[in-house]
Amino acid sequence: MKLLAKTNRIYLAFSLAIYLFAGLAFYQVVRILIYREVESRLRVERLDFEAYIRAHKSWSDSTYFIENKVDVVPVGHRPLLPETFIDTLIRNRYDDELMPFRQLTFYTTIQGVTNRVSIRKSLIQSYQLIEVITATMATCLGLLLLGTFWFQGKLSGRLWHPFYESLSRIKRFNLASATPLQLDKPEINEFRELNEVLRKMGDKMQQDYRSLKEFTENASHEIQTPLALINAKVEQLIQSEKLTESQGRWIEDIYQASRRMARLNQGLLLLAKIENHQFTENQTVDLTALLAEKLTDMDEVLLHKQITVQIPSRVPFEVQLPPSLADSLVMNLVNNAIKHNHAEGRVELASDGQSLWLGNTGNALVSNPERLFERFKKEGSSPDSVGLGLAIIREICDTYGLQVRYEEQKGWHRFCISRRLEAA
């Protein structure tokens, strides 16, 4: 969820709660004021009633009280009680509907007899007034809330425009490019300071990237050259006829160590280049066809180990990869399937267009499956392996939107490569 949407939702919920509270409070205030007015008029009616009693010494229906219904009920010699106000419903004799009234009840003495007097005043007009006021208030508050929300959205969009502009430029920023990160200088101080920090970070990242790239290229050249020289000299020594058996073994050990060092150097440099995104020329590659081709190229090795290759389906599995990395990915998968297979074993390649599987027979797994893709983690103690093949596969997949997983069941080992599902 975007920040503006989250902010607007919180603001809308808070404003709605405040407006509801204010509306209820306003309704109660209006109701109290109207009730006070009605009760005040009922007290005036009581004063008129008592004045009438004092003047006439008795009570009879009077047109003076035609607006309000007055009930006078003798209650004997009961002591006088304080006045009370209550709401009551009285059935209208014309349309037979219950009508709301506010009733004042008090006690007075008429000709020596205590009487309970009830004076009622209709609340129809008061309720209508409350309804009109409430509807008007709700409409005004609703319009105010919608207007404020709309204005807040427009204002926030304009205020946050520099941020989104900077974010868009950062997304397009490429470390491999010679163009530095260009950001505006907005009027808002916080955004201006943020852009300045981001610009300095971009410059530092480009500088570090260039330094690391230069180091990688230099290391690749400077280390490979002496290693190649060592291998060449050792090969010449191996062919010499003057070596003793012990010297021959020593030189053979040196030769194997130098070759392992060369493979290790190549693997680490390749990982560094992948991590630094130095491979930029992506192409559409069919991994199914490429794997089948590599398995065909390894016919002699497969024949020597008596390994059978089965390809039940050749559904294309096309991905966007630099050709050199696609070749490295496929070669590591094939080498792993052959190296960890056993005599008279089996290799199977399958694809459904969305996923690719390469399985092979082999011994039961000893190591933790979750750690197979770590650097220098290898199954067994083979001197030919430097423990970087699966790490390279994982790095390629992670960098180019693929995911790889390993499955092992009853001596059947299978690697699955599929397209990564983006988070919603």
Instruction: Indicate the domain borders of the chain.
Output: 3-157, 190-275, 283-419
Q: 89-93, 186-190, 399-403 — which is least confidently predicted?
A: 89-93
pLDDT tens for each residue of 341-392: 888 888 888 888 888 888 888 887 777 777 777 777 666 555 556 677 888 8
| Residue 195: pLDDT band with limits 50, 70, 90 | confident
Q: What is the rounded average pLDDT for all residues in the chain?
A: 80
Average pLDDT over residues 321-325: 88
Most trustworthy range by pLDDT among 71-75, 76-80, 232-236: 71-75
The answer on pLDDT for 212 being more than 70 is: yes
Percent of the chain with pLDDT over 70: 91
Average of pLDDT values for 255-268?
A: 78
Residue 253 φ/ψ region, left for φ over 0, alpha for ψ in the -120 to 50 degree band, beta for the rest: alpha
pLDDT at 251: 79
pLDDT of residue 390: 83
Which of 31-45, 77-91, 308-322, 336-350 shows the lowest mean pLDDT across its residues? 77-91
Q: Is 397 a residue whose pLDDT tops 70?
A: yes
The two tokens of residue 107 are 């006690």
Distance CA 3, CA 279 (A): 35
Confidence of residue 309 (pLDDT cuts 50, 70, 90): confident
* pLDDT(65) > 60: no
Give me the pLDDT at residue 68, please: 54
Q: Is the pTM of this model over 0.95?
A: no
Regarding predicted confidence, which is higher, 133 or 385?
133
d(CA 405, CA 357): 10
Is the pLDDT confidence value at 3 over 70?
no
**CA–CA distance, 255 with 257 (Å, rounded to integer):** 5
Residue 93 pLDDT grade (very low, low, confident, very high; cuts 50, 70, 90): low
CATH level 3 topology of 283-419: Heat Shock Protein 90 (3.30.565)
Flag whether pLDDT at 217 surpasses 80.
Answer: no
| Of residues 375 and 395, more confidently modeled | 395
Looking at residue 385, its pLDDT comes to 61
Give the residue with greater pLDDT, 193 vs 243: 193
Q: Is the pLDDT of residue 66 over 70?
A: no
**Residues near 81 by Cβ (< 8 Å), separated by ≥ 6?**
106, 107
